[in-house]
Structure 1
Amino acid sequence: QYLTSKVKHADETPVMVKVGGKLRDCRMWTGLGGDGRTAVFVYNRHRSGAAALSFLEGSSPGDYLMIDDCPSYNKPVKALKLIVLRCMAHIRRKFVEAYDNGSSHKDYLKKILIKISQLYRIERFADKKGFTEEQRTELRQKLSSVVLTEIKDHLLNPGFVVLPQSSVGKAINYFLNNWDEAVRFLENGALPIDNTPNEQIIRPFTIGRNNWMQAGSENGARRMAILYTIITTCKLNNINPEDYLKDVLMILSVRPENADVTDLPVNWYKKNNGGEDPLHTPLYPSKN
Structure 2
Amino acid sequence: MKTGWFWPLYGDADEVVFTYSNSRGRAHIEEVLSESFSGTLISDGYAAYARYAAAQESVTHAQCWVHGRRYFIEAQKDHPETVTNALQQIAKVYRNEEAIKTQGLTGEKKRQYRLDHSKPVVSDFFQWCRDQLAQGGLVPSDPLTKALNYVLGREASLTVFLENPDVQPDTNHLERALRPIPMGKKNWMFCWTELGAEHLGIIQSLISTCKLHDINPYTYLVDVLQRVSQHPASDVSDLTPRLWKTRFAENPLRALIDPRHPDRQNKQPEATVHAH
TM-score by shorter chain over 0.5: yes
Q: Which amino acid aligns with 2:178?
A: I
TM (norm. structure 2) is: 0.84
Report the CA distance between 1:149 and its aligned residue. Answer: 1.9
1:230 aligns with 2:206: yes
Provide the C-alpha distance between the structure 1 equivalents of 2:198 and 2:95, rounded to a whole number of angstroms.
39
Report the CA distance between 1:160 and its aligned residue. Answer: 5.7
Q: Which amino acid aligns with 1:136?
A: K
Identity of aligned residues (%): 29
Provide the C-alpha distance between the structure 2 equivalents of 1:40 and 1:152, rounded to a whole number of angstroms.
34
Correspondence for 1:162 among 115, 120, 138? 138
Q: Which amino acid aligns with 2:123?
A: T
Q: In the alignment, is the contact (CA less than 8 A) between 1:252 and 1:259 conserved in 2?
A: no
Tell me which residue corresponds to 2:114: 140
Provide the C-alpha distance between the structure 1 equivalents of 2:56 and 2:127, rounded to a whole number of angstroms.
34
CA RMSD of aligned residues (A): 1.8
Q: In the alignment, is the contact (CA less than 8 A) between 2:50 and 2:61 conserved in 1?
A: no
Q: Which has the higher strand share?
A: 1
Q: Which amino acid aligns with 2:37?
A: S
Tell me which residue corresponds to 1:216: 192
1:50 aligns with 2:24: no
1:172 aligns with 2:148: yes
Q: In the alignment, is the contact (CA less than 8 A) between 1:235 and 1:241 conserved in 2?
A: yes
Provide the C-alpha distance between the structure 1 equivalents of 2:41 and 2:5, rounded to a whole number of angstroms.
19
Structure 2: segments with no counterpart, 5+ residues? 251-276
Structure 1: segments with no counterpart, 5+ residues? 1-22, 275-288
Tell me which residue corresponds to 1:203: 179
1:29 aligns with 2:32: no
1:260 aligns with 2:236: yes
Tell me which residue corresponds to 1:106: 80
Q: In the alignment, is the contact (CA less than 8 A) between 2:180 and 2:204 conserved in 1?
A: no
Report the CA distance between 1:161 and its aligned residue. Answer: 2.5
1:65 aligns with 2:41: yes
Provide the C-alpha distance between the structure 1 equivalents of 2:35 and 2:50, rounded to a whole number of angstroms.
16
TM (norm. structure 1) is: 0.80
Tell me which residue corresponds to 2:74: 97
Post-superposition Cα deviations, 1:15-49, rounded to whole Å, max 9, x if no partner, equal: xxxxxxxx1121111110124x1111111111111
Provide the C-alpha distance between the structure 1 equivalents of 2:118 and 2:191, rounded to a whole number of angstroms.
44
- Give the total of aligned pairs: 247
Tell me which residue corresponds to 2:159: 183
Could you say what secondary structure the match of 1:109 adopts?
Answer: helix
Provide the C-alpha distance between the structure 1 equivalents of 2:92 and 2:191, rounded to a whole number of angstroms.
42
Report the CA distance between 1:114 and its aligned residue. Answer: 0.6
Deviates more, 1:122-131 or 1:111-120: 122-131
Q: Which amino acid aligns with 2:26?
A: G
Provide the C-alpha distance between the structure 1 equivalents of 2:8 and 2:205, rounded to a whole number of angstroms.
9
Deviates more, 1:265-274 or 1:194-203: 265-274
Q: Aligned pair in 2 of structure 1 residues 39, 54: CA closer, same or farther (>3 Å)?
A: same
